[in-house]
Amino acid sequence: MSRYRGPRLRIVRRLGDLPGLTRKAPRRAYPPGQHGQERKKRSEYAVRLEEKQKLRFNYGLTERQLLRYVRKARRASGSTGQALLQLLEMRLDNTVFRLGMAPTIPGARQLVNHGHVTVNGRVVDIPSYQCRPGDVIGVRDRDRSRQIVETNLQYPGLANLPSHLEFDKNKLEGKVNGIVEREWVALQINELLVVEYYSRQA
């Protein structure tokens, strides 16, 4: 598979804090490798590439998937960068992560892939499913599924629940009330640089 399966802290050291990728914090604050501590002047291309890589690794996308999302965001009305972030934030795996059902986005993807998550009462095992306002995200009605989610809820990945989501811990049920707003995106990123990076391809 083309998904990244290597050391996650190596990516965090290179790109900065990625809340969706891992909860661990690196012991060293500089990038990995022999020349990690040397400060080099980066080109404009390098800065744009780094922002694009942040987006890709945080949400666990392939290059082809991200390019497809950029093209979709271009067709949407309003700011392309904001539309891109909204498309990524409304993915089912990310919504499960933001509800606290999984500690990271890769963990949420596994939860969805293994058929533990339901949308509007039906099992959905596609992590890239686009959640819409009004969707009810729940846990499959079996002991194993509930047990996994209850364990994950004790240590959620992010402390605050975004304003577009609500969650009932007793029912283990979340609801999407609207589209995510820019200030609730947990990743520190300049989305305009990502759009600029893809300006020739998309």
- Residue 170, pLDDT above cutoff 90: no
CATH of the domain at 152: 3.10.290.10
Interval 61-79: pLDDT, tens: 999 999 999 999 999 888 8
Report pLDDT for 1.
43
pTM, to two decimals: 0.86
Note whether 127 and 150 are same-domain residues.
yes
Note whether residue 202 is domain-resident: no
Note whether 31 and 48 are same-domain residues.
yes
Instruction: Report the C-alpha gap between 158 and 95 in whole angstroms.
Output: 12
Give the whole-number percent of the chain exceeding pLDDT 90: 36
Q: What is the number of structural domains in the chain?
A: 2
The residue-averaged pLDDT of 137-149 equals 89
- Residue 37, pLDDT above cutoff 70: no
Note whether residue 101 is domain-resident: yes
Average pLDDT in the chain: 85
Note whether residue 2 is domain-resident: no
Phi and psi angles of residue 71, each rounded to the nearest 5 degrees, phi first: -65, -40
Instruction: Report the C-alpha gap between 12 and 135 in whole angstroms.
Output: 32
The residue-averaged pLDDT of 162-191 equals 88
CATH of the domain at 45: 1.10.1050.10
Residue of higher predicted confidence among 34 and 155? 155
Interval 94-139: pLDDT, tens: 999 989 898 888 889 999 999 999 999 899 999 999 999 999 999 9
Domain that holds residue 54: 8-87+186-197
Nearest C-alpha neighbor of 40 from the set 28, 52, 31: 31
Note whether 72 and 131 are same-domain residues.
no
Half-sphere exposure of 92 (CA within 13 A, CB side): 24
Note whether 78 and 109 are same-domain residues.
no
Note whether residue 147 is domain-resident: yes
Report pLDDT for 143.
84
Report pLDDT for 12.
78
Report the residue count for the chain. 202
